[in-house]
Chain A
């Protein structure tokens, strides 16, 4: 047992310990079991304290950005707060992309950064950066601890802020002298926070109004996002209950996939830029919309003035600033998604009004007609020389992963492969799908998968990747090797930055500026050089065997799937177009709507 093992009865009057020990004790009190980090001069005292204990495990990443994504993967697959530890200066600046990613996707992360000693702050000291200044707009909140007596309190507060209300990343900047010098310990406070107390309970009158609106609706739709996932599995269960009881169609955002079972016929698929025809047209034509934990992002709404023009909108969100930000709504309910949905279920049962079943039936008929367009259909040729369609590869991955009987988690990088994964992997449960939604961070998937695998050592964790994205954090193969994490990397290799190429084809006259993936590595030998295994598959008929081999492998594994380089991701709502102006792809539609200059300026 180490000298720093937690004492059974901590008394308030015990002797002060070094700051680094106090920090670790506060982390333990917050239930932290894993830290993703990378050492450096300013954080050496923390590493020394970590060395002397066994309660908290440290995972050494190969780049600080990856530490944050790994913590995100850990947080999203467990519902807990992910913890990151990096050094001052470049350690902190490297973490910034991960922090903004967590901010955009509302993922609870606490990031500890080293800082030069307080007396050197502002002197341009070695590895000094104005970390709190740089990360102020990159975090939900951040702190610079300048006095030892603030240390323990700040750590507890950071965890509270990271997971309360709309979750997000919180950074604590820790000068080296604070870590070395003595600091008093303080347990987590029992009093409520002095200023930050987000509202969680819905207003009952608003819930009652929502029930009235939804029961009277002739063409209702539910639009559920990542807020439902963040509110915990009970929220997803309450959502599923509600939608099934009401028998109304539901669509998910990219972040919300898994909040409602994709295998249920009430599910219309994902909506938005690469959403299904039935989801987008249902949103366009509905008369009452229930938005839960979704933020009317531009990728979802398309052209704002043409977004769901005839509907009355109900918006449940824990963040009041998400309401009426892009789209004005008729009924705002500020609350935790789980609590609001539970209240909605109770009020629905207590209310005696009946739904307009005839109108609902007609609405479903319309939706089924849209669904019959089979907008995700693609043609997979067979035989010698037939190219593997990326959609087919994802479908085979989905089915063979399910057939393995193991618990499966999927992460992605960013681009076409991400959209195909969102369209074709079907999630029946929350917390099994991790993708960079808001920031769209290439390089997210591999480290996120690493974090997921740490939290779920026996699960099958697959990073669906593109050959371009995967190179952005490829160094993490080293981390996988060190901790023997059997993460699978499923590369849809079309030798292009596929989404960039698609936009260049559709919007920039087919001038493929800098989007060709030249000089690619041999991914199989790359995996092997990092003590993993790999395989490349180019023929349709060998795909299944290759996927089975990947799943069966007990090592980190790269499966390099050569797919049709010309395939595009459809349906697509071009930037600046409306939900009813989708491009359906070759052979499915004659005229694509023109993209306006205004639309061209949107990304």
Chain B
């Protein structure tokens, strides 16, 4: 039972399996904005070929009571099949991909490349004065790399948002 006095904020990665129909994303997003919940990251794409289903992964934050409320509100949407709180259910994987453009010459450029190597970012585009790195990992790791690139000529970042799955044999 969530206690009223427990105002500690926690982060939650919630996966939602939905019927892939018109407006379903708007319903989910509208629910969050209409009820004042946070969305820190949101990804959506069709999964399960032939069954017309999409998976939405949402990273949000709130008190225990609010997170429970978010799940209950999602679960009662008509096209929602299942809602899973991966953070609460146990160990899980949460990954995102980023494309990071760094523009520079000389030492900064060499340093950017060395750090990219240390972070296992791949070079997917290069000119004499720019790189585009592709990097996959936890959001924290991406944040850290982006921060390191800032003084080295960080020009632009594009991130996918989080895709998440439970570890082990468990499924949504």
How many Å lie between the Cα of A325 and that of B35 in the bound state? Answer: 12
Min CB distance, A320 to chain B, in Å?
5
CB-CB contacts below 8 Å: B37-90 with A: 65, 68-69, 72-73, 75-81
Interface code B75-117, partner A: CB below 8 Å = 1, 0 otherwise?
Answer: 1111111000000000000000000000000000000000000
Q: Given A320-B75, A329-B1, are A195 and B23 also a contact pair (CB < 8 Å)?
A: no
Contact of B65 among A194, A198, A324 (CB under 8 A): A324
- The 0/1 profile, CB within 8 Å of A marked 1, for residues 3-45 of chain B is 1100000000000001100110011001000100000000000
Closest-CB distance, A126 to chain B (whole angstroms): 23
A164–chain B nearest beta-carbon distance, Å: 10
Question: At the interface, is chain A mostly helix, strand, loop or mixed?
Answer: loop
Q: How far is the CB of A301 from chain B (nearest CB, A)?
A: 12
Query: Shortest distance in angstroms between A298's beta carbon and chain B's nearest beta carbon?
Result: 15
Q: Is the beta-carbon distance between B81 and A330 smaller than 8 angstroms?
A: no
A137 and B78 alpha carbons, distance in the complex (Å): 13
Cβ-defined contact, A144 with B78, below 8 A: no
Residues A165 and B19 in contact in the complex (CB < 8 Å), given A136-B27, A328-B1, A328-B65: no
Question: Are A194 and B76 CB-contacts (below 8 A) given A133-B26, A137-B34?
Answer: no
State the CA gap A329–B75 with chains docked (Å): 20
A140 at the binding interface (Cβ < 8 Å): yes
Partner of B78, one of A195, A305, A319, A329: A195
User: Would A321 and B69 count as touching, CB distance under 8 A?
Assistant: yes
Q: Does B2 contact A (CB under 8 A)?
A: yes
Query: Does A323 touch B at the CB level, under 8 Å?
Result: yes
Question: A161 vs B76: C-alpha distance in the bound complex, in angstroms?
Answer: 11
In chain A, what residue has the closest Cβ to B74?
A321
From 287 to 324 in chain A, residues with beta carbon under 8 angstroms from any chain B beta carbon are: 304-305, 319-321, 323-324
Known contacts A132-B23, A136-B23, A144-B22, A325 near B3 by CB under 8 Å: no
- Beta-carbon contacts of A118-147 to B below 8 Å, as 1s and 0s? 000000000000001100110011101010
A100 CB to closest chain B CB, in angstroms? 12
Q: Which residues of A contact B18 (CB under 8 A)?
A: 195
Are A324 and B79 interface neighbours, CB within 8 A?
no
Residues of B within 8 A of A140 (CB): 78
Beta-carbon contacts under 8 Å, A186-238 to B: 194-196, 198
Contact A194 B26 (CB under 8 A): no
User: Would A323 and B72 count as touching, CB distance under 8 A?
Assistant: yes
Question: Interface centre among B34, B78, B81, by most A CB within 10 Å?
Answer: B78
Contacts of A194 in B (CB 8 A): 19, 81
Expressed in whole angstroms, the minimum distance between the Cβ of A212 and any Cβ of chain B is: 17
Report the nearest B residue to A328, measured CB to CB.
B4
Looking at the assembled complex, report how far the CB atom of A93 sits from the nearest CB atom of chain B, in whole angstroms.
Answer: 18
CB closest residue in chain B, given A313: B1
Residues of A within 8 A of B75 (CB): 320-321
Q: In the complex where A195-B81, A320-B76 touch, is A136 in contact with B30 (Cβ < 8 A)?
A: yes
Chain A interface bracket (under 10, 10 to 19, 20 to 34, 35 or more): 20 to 34
Partner pick for A328 among B3, B22, B81, CB 8 A cutoff? B3
Contact of A136 among B1, B19, B26 (CB under 8 A): B26
**Minimum C-beta distance from A330 to chain B (A):** 6
Contact of A165 among B4, B72, B76, B81 (CB under 8 A): B76
Inter-chain contact A325/B4, CB cutoff 8 Å = no
Total B residues in contact with A, Cβ cutoff 8 Å? 24
Interface residues of A in 308-354 (CB under 8 A from B): 319-321, 323-325, 327-330
**Contact call A195/B80, Cβ cutoff below 8 A:** yes
A329 to B30, alpha carbons, bound, how many Å? 27
A58 CB to closest chain B CB (Å) equals 28
Docked Cα-Cα span, A325 to B81, in Å, equals 22
From A133, which residue of chain B is reached at the shortest CB distance? Answer: B26
For B76, the chain A residues whose CB sits under 8 A away are: 165-166, 198, 319-321
- With A321-B72, A323-B72, A324-B68: A195-B79 Cβ-Cβ less than 8 Å: yes
Cα A328 to Cα B65 in complex, Å, equals: 8
Contacts of B1 in A (CB 8 A): 324, 328-330
Name the distance in Å between B122's Cβ and chain A's nearest Cβ: 39
Which residues of B are found within 8 Å of A165, using beta-carbon distances? Answer: 76
Say which residue of A195, A304, A329 sits within 8 Å of B19 (CB atoms). Answer: A195
Instruction: Give the docked Cα–Cα distance between A146 and B75 (Å).
Output: 26
Among residues of B, the one whose C-beta sits closest to the C-beta of A157 is B78
Q: Once bound together, how far apart are the Cα atoms of A123 and B71, in whole Å?
A: 37
A161 and B78 contacting across the interface, CB-CB below 8 Å: yes
Name which of B27, B75, B76 has the most chain A CB atoms within 10 A of its CB. B76
| A325 contacts across to B, CB distance below 8 A | 69, 72
A324 touches B69 (CB 8 A): yes
How far apart sit A321 and B68, CA to CA, in the bound complex (Å)? 8
How far does the alpha carbon of A165 sit from the alpha carbon of B78 in the complex, in Å? 11
Which chain B residue shows the least CB distance to A136?
B30
In the complex, which residues of chain A have a beta carbon less than 8 angstroms from the beta carbon of B80? 195
For B77, list chain A residues within 8 Å (CB): 141
| A-chain residues with CB within 8 Å of residue B2 when the two chains form the complex | 324, 328
* Minimum CB–CB distance for A555 against chain B, Å: 44
Closest beta carbon of chain A to B48's beta carbon, Å: 13
Expressed in whole angstroms, the Cα–Cα distance for A328 and B3 within the complex equals: 6
Contacts of B22 in A (CB 8 A): 144, 146
Contacts of B73 in A (CB 8 A): 321
Alpha-carbon gap, A348 to B139, bound state (A)? 53
Give Cα distance in the complex from A136 to B23, angstroms: 9
How far is it, in angstroms, between the C-alpha of A533 and the C-alpha of B18 when the chains are bound? 55
Contact A196/B69 with A136-B27, A137-B34 known, Cβ cut-off 8 Å: no
Query: With A and B bound together, what is the CA distance between A304 and B65 in angstroms?
Result: 14
Q: Which residues of the other chain, A, contact B19 by a CB distance below 8 angstroms? A: 194-195
Rounded to whole Å, the gap between the CB of A325 and the closest CB of chain B is 6
Q: How far is the CA of A328 from the CA of B66 in the complex (A)?
A: 11
A133: B residues at CB distance < 8 A: 26
Give the complex CA separation of A330 and B2 in angstroms.
9
Taken together as a complex, chains A and B put the C-alpha atoms of A198 and B75 apart, in Å, by 10
Contact, CB under 8 Å: B30 / A137: yes
Q: Determine the chain B residues whose CB is within 8 A of the CB of A323 once the complex forms.
A: 72
Tell me the bound Cα distance from A198 to B77 in angstroms. 11
Closest 4 CB pairs of A and B: A321-B72, A141-B78, A320-B72, A196-B78
Q: List 7 A-B contacts (CB under 8 A).
A: A144-B23, A146-B22, A319-B76, A321-B72, A321-B76, A324-B68, A325-B69
15 more CB-based (< 8 A) A-B contacts, given A140-B78, A327-B4: A132-B23, A136-B23, A136-B27, A137-B34, A141-B78, A166-B76, A194-B81, A195-B18, A195-B80, A319-B76, A320-B72, A321-B73, A321-B75, A324-B69, A328-B3
